[in-house]
Amino acid sequence: MAQQNTNGKRKSTIKKVWHYLKNYRFLLILSILMAALTVAGTLYVPILVGDAIDFIIKKGQVNFAAIAKILEKGATVILFTGITQWIMNICNNHITFHVTRDIRNEAMKKIEKLPLKYIDGHSYGDVVSRVIADVDQFADGLLMGFTQFFTGVVTILGTLGFIFSIHVGIALLVVCLTPISLLVARFIATHTYSMFKLQSETRGEQTALIEEMIEGEKVVKAFGYEKRAGERFAAVNDKLQGYSLKAIFFSSITNPSTRFVNSLVYASVALSGALTAIGGGLSVGQLTCLLSYANQYTKPFNEISGVVTELQNALACAARIFELIEETPETDDKKDALVLANPEGNIELSHVNFSYTTEKRLIEDFNLNVKKGQRIAIVGPTGCGKTTIINLLMRFYDVNKGTIMVEGTDIRDITRESLRTSYGMVLQDTWLRSGTIRDNITMGREGFSDEQIIAAAKEAHSYSFIKKMPKGLDTYITEDGAGMSQGQKQLLCITRVMLDLPSMLILDEATSSIDTRTEQKIQNAFAKMMAGRTSFIVAHRLSTIQNADVILVMRDGHIIEQGNHETLLKQNGFYAKLYNSQFAN
């Protein structure tokens, strides 16, 4: 059953590869034609050599004039064969690298369309490994397949044709012995595919672990995790070694196995040809030609068996990238979806149910009615669903049940772009990209002058460190903001929202990395920023939300308390305990 499943996946992958190859039919046909001409020229040379040998009768009886003409013809054939082989290689390279380009482009487009649950459920290293390493492996196998597989198949067929033209009996003997080599190659191919697939998957796991450890190197060192990290890497490395050794073992026995069968073919042709020549059925030149063809006939089997091994690896890697390409994308906006323009900030969550996995329930029967300009603070222990509410409001995830309405319209009936443009977000995790400070503040939005950017930076209290940078707003920073503190990176993200204030705001631990003194200044800026705007504030430091209109106290996906700061303290419930735990002294 498992073997049938593997064969089915391999056939399915080949069909998908052919889907990309169809775009380059002309080059494919030209490559096959050039391969046929290359083989024809290569196989014609032994006939010329055989004819030349037959003009050498004995000492003193050599037809040099005839041999000279044959040599001239041979030189022409060799030159022609070289040109056709050069054209064939150009075609093969063009097809291979254009196909891999198309696959990578489609993979990148799919990543941009994938729902967040896929990105959250897969390690970044594995996704990168599929798009980079697996596609490279696939390209290597595909190029070898075009270069050697087609040529090898045409060589086998062409050689058989020439052998039949010389002696039918010897040709039939060769045909009878051929299936042995094919059976050996098939046996090895079926075993190498599964091993190469496991090898490719484990390589992705290894890449993911390396990426995780390098990205979190400071955390690894801070918690003394080096030994455990080394043990985890060693375990994955050992697993990769095991799969690689099995794959290499099966691929390594291919060549000697086919060589044994090919030697058997060559010996049979030599013996039967010699006996036929002794009986007068063949000339010496024809026997020489047959031996040359026997050698050329068996040689492609060695090459093809090696190619088959590489193709198994290529197909295993292709299967992984196709799995990514065929993932279910994020649902498109409805054709008649509303473009949200200038919303006032009236939001209603009605009987909302949501969970990331079916096994673990998170938010159940969540209800909330937010009016224009209200400040809604969300507090509660870690994992209670605070950030999940933000994900649902932005429609990074869709609710399982219930509705979320903005200005009386279900957000599933609103275009994602207009919905998300209506929110300004500042998260605990900073979003930076490689580029200038100006690029990171405007984030591709056009039409902002330096004066506007500087004014926003002053409001966010980030201009004090921006003006000290070597080139001010034109200072180049990397994606990880190397050389900047976490607080400075967060201030840049706050400046980004300050620059173009939307009608609704989401502040998720927006000041978690900022010192207390600067935080007080930022809170004043936030107060000015939130005036008249609907705002959702997620905070662990309860001192930052005391002025909120409504505080939602969440636990296990439910609102257990609701009210303003004074009301909740008087209730002496869960919020009061949280607050007192922070300000007990």
pLDDT tens for each residue of 261-302: 777 777 777 787 787 877 777 776 777 777 777 777 767 766
Q: What is the pLDDT of residue 79?
A: 92
Residue 22 has pLDDT above 60, yes or no: yes
Quick one: which of 21, 65, 70 has its CA closest to 44?
Answer: 70
Q: What is the pLDDT of residue 318?
A: 84
pLDDT tens for each residue of 233-265: 888 888 888 888 887 777 677 667 777 777 777
d(CA 58, CA 46): 21
Q: What is the pLDDT of residue 211?
A: 78
Highest mean pLDDT among 298-302, 448-452, 536-540, 551-555: 448-452
pLDDT tens for each residue of 465-498: 888 888 888 888 887 776 777 778 878 888 888 8
Give the residue with greater pLDDT, 3 vs 545: 545
Q: Return the exposure string of 346-381: e unless at least 16 CB atoms fall within 10 Å of the residue's CB, then b.
A: bbbbeebebbeeeeeebbbebebebeebbbbbbbbe
d(CA 391, CA 414): 16
Terminal CA-to-CA distance of the chain, rounded, Å? 68
* Residue-range domain boundaries for the chain: 7-166+306-330, 347-581
Q: pLDDT above 70 covers what percent of the chain?
A: 87
Here the tokens at position 473 are: 């707003």
CATH number of 347-581: 3.40.50.300
Quick one: which of 310, 345, 288 has its CA closest to 51?
Answer: 288
Q: Return the exposure string of 229-250: e unless at least 16 CB atoms fall within 10 Å of the residue's CB, then b.
A: beeeeeebeebbeebbebbeeb
Q: What is the mean pLDDT of residues 131-148?
A: 79
Q: What is the pLDDT of residue 83?
A: 92
Confidence of residue 448 (pLDDT cuts 50, 70, 90): confident
pLDDT tens for each residue of 369-422: 888 888 888 887 777 777 788 888 888 888 889 999 999 899 999 998 888 888
Q: What is the pLDDT of residue 311?
A: 74
**Partners of 554 in the β-ladder:** 559
pLDDT tens for each residue of 295-344: 777 677 666 666 666 777 788 788 888 888 888 888 888 888 888 888 88
CB atoms inside a 10 Å sphere around CB 471? 10
Q: pLDDT above 90 covers what percent of the chain?
A: 2
Here the tokens at position 43 are: 């196989």
Q: What is the pLDDT of residue 460?
A: 81
Q: What is the mean pLDDT of residues 187-195?
A: 69
Q: What is the mean pLDDT of residues 83-89?
A: 89
Q: What is the pLDDT of residue 2?
A: 47
Residue 526 has pLDDT above 60, yes or no: yes
Is CATH 1.20.58.1180 correct for 7-166+306-330? no
Lowest-confidence segment of 15-19, 355-359, 509-513 by average pLDDT: 509-513
d(CA 179, CA 185): 10
Q: Return the exposure string of 77-111: e unless at least 16 CB atoms fall within 10 Å of the residue's CB, then b.
A: beeebeebbebbbebbeebbeebbeebbeebeebb
Q: What is the pLDDT of residue 561?
A: 84
Q: What is the mean pLDDT of residues 125-140?
A: 82
